């Protein structure tokens, strides 16, 4: 992972986020899994956040990198907002 260089600082802010399916139902298989992953990538495409993503039957792990000026709450809300209807 690369540090982000700014005028007066250098940083590497990362977060591990887990999205679970409602009631932990094992719905992330086949085309549903691919659709959800694609939706997350599409949502984060303009923000360059996602460094790694892995899925299991009932949850998704994301490793994201973000700027100190970005709110982690807003990042998670945005990603969740675009995937909730698919899960």
Counts of helices then strands in the chain (DSSP H, E): 2, 5
The predicted model scores a pTM of: 0.74
Phi, psi at 4, each rounded to 5°: -95, 120
What whole-number percentage of the chain has pLDDT above 90? 8
Place of tokens 């691919």: 34
Host H or E run for residue 77: helix 72-83
Kindly report, residue by residue over 20-79, the tens digit of the pLDDT: 887 777 878 888 888 888 888 887 765 568 888 888 888 989 998 888 888 889 888 888
Phi/psi for 51 (5° steps) reads -100, -35
**Could you tell me the end-to-end alpha-carbon distance of the chain, in angstroms, rounded to an integer?**
30
């Amino acid at each position: 992972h690369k540090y982000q260089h700014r005028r007066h600082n250098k940083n590497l802010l990362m977060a591990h986020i887990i999205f679970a399916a409602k009631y932990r139902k094992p719905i992330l298989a086949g085309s549903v899994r691919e659709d959800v992953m694609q939706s997350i990538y599409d949502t984060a495409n303009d923000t360059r956040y996602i460094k790694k993503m892995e899925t299991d039957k009932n949850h998704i792990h994301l490793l994201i990198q973000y700027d100190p000026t970005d709110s982690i709450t807003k990042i998670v809300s945005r990603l969740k907002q675009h995937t909730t209807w698919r899960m």
